[in-house]
Amino acid sequence: MAADHLDERDRSDALVLFGITGDLAYKKLFPALHDLERDQDLDFPVIGVARSDWTLDDLRERAEASMREEVDDLDEDAMRTVIDRLEYVQGDYNHPDTFARLNELLQDCSKPLAYLAIPPSLFDEVIEGLETIGANQRGGGVVVEKPFGRDLTSARELDDLLQRTFPEELIYRIDHFLGKETVLDVMLFRLANPVLDTLLHRHHVDHLQITMAEDFGIEGRGGFYDTVGAMRDVVQNHLLQVMALILADPPVSDDPEALRDEKSKVLRALRPIQPDEMVRGQYVGYHDVDQVDPESTTETFVSLVANVETWRWSDVPIHIRAGKAMDETRTEIAVVFKRPPLSLYRGPDMTEPPPNTLRFRIKPGERIDLGIQLKKPGERIETEPVLMTYEWDDRLARHTEAYARLLGDALSGDRTLFARSDSVLAAWEAVQPLLDDPGPVHPYEPGEAGPAEAKRVAPPGGWLPPLTD
């Protein structure tokens, strides 16, 4: 997000990366540091803290391997500079000496940002350790990775733990989905095009469709996935946060809290979703995946219908689905508008024109489409659907990787794109009835659009077909 309103003094002057030897650091954080160095010049130390008995050279080799593998447009100078900025504190988070040595490296830093790229079970020790060296008092704050709890109770406990040590405005709950170019454009598109935003209202909208479908399974991630499932992995966080962006009222100012206030209102108005409003599925063959419990009832597919009870959105069904091993890979938010009140141009052999749609596609390829109807050339009075499409340039999309954007924002003290405590808890409250009473998982074959039972909660007229390129 543009952080123009932030003072340079708000910037952190050190990044402390807990979990620097882990998977997330390798796949996302070193590449994000590369992009930030290339675009902004970091100009501060990056101090990794982890248990592996590595030398600084080992860590530097790992960072180089990560950037060479994961960055599309590698800038050798930026990569070298990131590598040169690295420091390493080897130690267990349970050991006070680890934090004492970290503190020595932080002597010249006034505002370190701590990034917890570690399993939530370790948050307690690390937050306590940061407190003992006073790192929480220096105004840099803390970045935490999803999952923010695994149900309402654990989310509240996590919140209590974080807020005992850091003020809410310095807790950056990172949901990388919210840093994606198309997701950011959901709100900007609305604010910059009031003529279209006016249409986002129960008077005009029939329903919404939010999809996150993947045509591959969970191979290689069985141990992790089997403990979460589709609801906890993507629906409670990514998809409900995106839903809040499209349904939120425009913020009243550019203050970071203004947008977060509006999103929070939407999530607090989300009526708790009931078990009969959801269908779960599991693809055939899931039990054979390494580290999956052979008796597992974890869902690899979920479809539900939600309602947001605000003046603007009441009675507009919001259909949400997410799944693995499906018939396609697509992440999309689609607004389906109401049909004309009277179909004047409908002859005996003519079909009713499809409704207007506004579709934000996040994957594959980021684009926005407005679906309208025009007269089909010829003698007959007949319409044909036409798309007005804006497609992002690939190069631009690579330039604005979500992790780089969000890490840069946290370093600058800009919290606009991070999930706030009340939003996170409201989203858990809405799905808690489904966690309490999840019902059966229905099997589906890999390559299908989920189980047949999911039709029960599907949009009227079915899910929109994928857009052709």
Residues within the interface to ligand NDP (CB under 6 A): 19-24, 27, 50-52, 92-94, 117-120, 122, 145-147
| CA 171 to chain centroid | 17
Closer to ligand NDP by Cβ: residue 5 or 27: 27
Do residues 194 and 276 touch, judged by C-beta distance below 8 A? Answer: no
- Side chain identity, residue 51: R
DSSP category for residue 298: -
3-state secondary structure of 206: strand
Q: What is the DSSP letter of 146?
A: S
Select which of 238, 287, 319, 399 is catalytic: 238
Q: How far is the CB of 373 from ligand NDP (least distance, A)?
A: 41
For 204, the token pair is 């005009």
Beta strand spans in 266-398 (E): 278-283, 301-306, 318-323, 330-337, 357-363, 367-375, 383-391
Task: Determine the Cα–Cα distance for residues 357 and 348; give it in Å rounded to an integer.
Answer: 25
On whether the CB atoms of residues 111 and 13 are closer than 8 A, the answer is yes
Using the minimum distance from each CB to ligand NDP, give the nearer residue, 30 or 444. 30
Whether residue 364 has a cis bond before it, omega within 30° of 0: yes
**How far is residue 369 from each of residues 5, 353, 365, 386, 389, measured CA to CA in Å?**
32, 17, 12, 10, 4
* Closest among 465, 463, 173, 118 to 301, alpha carbons compared: 463
* C-beta of residue 50 within 8 angstroms of C-beta of residue 90: yes
**Residue 6, both tokens:** 């932030």
Closest-CB residue for ligand NDP?
A: 22
Tell me whether strands 14-18 and 112-116 are parallel, antiparallel or unpaired.
Answer: parallel
Nearer of residues 83 and 273 to ligand NDP, judged by Cβ: 83
Length of the chain, please? 469
Compute the least distance from the CB of residue 315 to ligand NDP, in Å: 35
Q: Residue 405, class by beta-carbon neighbours within 10 Å (0-12 exposed, 13-18 middle, 19+ buried)?
A: buried
Verify cis geometry, omega within 30 degrees of 0, for the bond prior to 438. Answer: no
For 398, counting Cβ atoms within 10 Å of its Cβ (0-12 exposed, 13-18 middle, 19+ buried), the class is middle
Task: Report the DSSP pairing between strands 330-337 and 112-116.
Answer: unpaired
HSE at residue 369, side-chain half, CA atoms within 13 A, is: 23
Residue 399: active-site member: no
Give 24 or 161: the residue with its C-beta nearer to ligand NDP.
24
Q: 263 with 241: CB under 8 angstroms? A: yes
- Residue 124: exposure state from Cβ atoms within 10 A (0-12, 13-18, ≥19): middle
Positions marked catalytic? 238
